[in-house]
């Protein structure tokens, strides 16, 4: 069986950074949203498991996903996974994690594997993979790997502005620690209560000052997005990708116009809309 799957990128509508945990990761409270900006995967029979990603040197998390499935007893056929990248690489939109999640969704169509095993493997691969296993809006707690689906928000759309460079997630978190950006436990718990009570998420990314400290030129992209009419402009996750939010029934049209306006200065600027679980469902042929 040949499969195709879309791997939607994610943005964090808010990201509140908490204390460092015993495992070295930070406690987080965040609201994830999956976007129509997606990588495309083809999965086809092969003599041995193989990962191909044109234009990108290595995609270890996808290879690790296949290896993790095998080690947990999955007996699907050997496959070649070809990844066509659309999500900015090292851009704070969870592109590699999205690809891993898409492979996990596809694995269920090739051979039986229970949901508990998939969830456990997703958490072991990256803190972002569980949030992308079933695309759609969700709250993330723990290190971002404890996921609670939530209802879709009012109509909105985004302009996405990639940068011409990447940022290491680990480096951004180290810089956040150096700058003392973490909130205390009670503050973090209060933010979580507000979100669970149905309050609209604050458009705050506690990692943004760290990303700006490492790459100050990101501020120019934030200003450009605001000048293009976005109601909110933020760094996506650990950066450096910037997004702008547009709300209302005509949000998609305005986001598309903003992307066209910004594309000369920021090649790769594009618009995107929120997507649900159905968007990422693998399809066979």
Residues 183-206: pLDDT tens digits?
Answer: 999 999 999 999 998 766 679 999
Q: Is the four-CA dihedral 179, 203, 100, 4 of positive or negative sign?
A: negative
3-class SS of residue 13: strand
| Residue ranges per structural domain of the chain | 3-151, 156-194+206-272
In whole numbers, what is the pLDDT of the chain averaged over residues?
A: 94
Most confident of 57-61, 90-94, 239-243: 239-243
* Greatest Cα pair distance in the chain: 53
Strands 50-52 and 146-149: unpaired
pLDDT at 159 over 70: yes
Strand partners, 158: 245, 272
pLDDT band at residue 275 using 50, 70 and 90 as cut-offs: very high
Architecture category of domain 156-194+206-272 in CATH: 2-Layer Sandwich (3.30)
**Residues taking part in catalysis:** 10, 128
**Is 3-151 a CATH 1.10.1780.10 domain?**
no
Tell whether omega for the bond before 240 is within 30 degrees of 0, i.e. cis. Answer: yes
pTM for the structure as a whole: 0.92
Quote the pLDDT of residue 178. Answer: 97
């Amino acid at each position: 069986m040949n499969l195709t799957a879309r791997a939607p990128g994610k943005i964090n509508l808010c990201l509140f950074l908490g204390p460092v945990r015993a495992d070295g990761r930070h406690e987080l409270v965040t609201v994830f949203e999956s976007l129509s900006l997606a990588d495309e995967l083809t999965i086809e029979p092969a003599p041995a498991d193989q990962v191909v990603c044109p234009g990108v040197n290595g995609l270890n998390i996808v290879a690790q996903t296949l290896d993790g499935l095998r080690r947990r007893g999955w007996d699907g056929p050997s496959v070649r996974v070809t990844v066509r990248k659309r999500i900015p690489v090292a851009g704070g939109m969870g592109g590699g994690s999205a690809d891993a999640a898409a492979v996990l969704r596809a694995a269920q169509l090739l051979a039986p594997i229970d949901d508990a095993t998939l969830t456990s493997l997703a958490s072991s691969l990256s803190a972002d993979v569980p949030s992308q296993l079933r695309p759609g809006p969700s709250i993330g707690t723990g290190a971002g790997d404890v996921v609670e689906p939530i209802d879709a928000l009012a109509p909105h759309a985004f302009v996405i502005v990639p940068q011409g460079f990447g940022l290491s997630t680990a480096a951004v978190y180290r810089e956040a620690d150096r700058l003392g950006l973490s909130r205390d436990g009670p503050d973090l718990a209060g933010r979580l209560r507000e979100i669970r009570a149905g309050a609209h998420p604050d458009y705050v990314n506690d990692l943004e000052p760290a990303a700006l400290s490492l790459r100050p030129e990101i501020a120019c992209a934030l200003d450009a997005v605001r000048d293009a009419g976005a109601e909110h402009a933020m760094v996506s996750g650990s950066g450096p990708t910037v997004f702008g939010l547009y709300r209302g029934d005509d949000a998609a049209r305005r986001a598309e116009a903003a992307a066209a306006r910004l594309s000369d200065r920021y090649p790769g600027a594009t618009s995107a809309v929120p997507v649900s679980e159905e968007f990422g469902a693998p399809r066979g042929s």
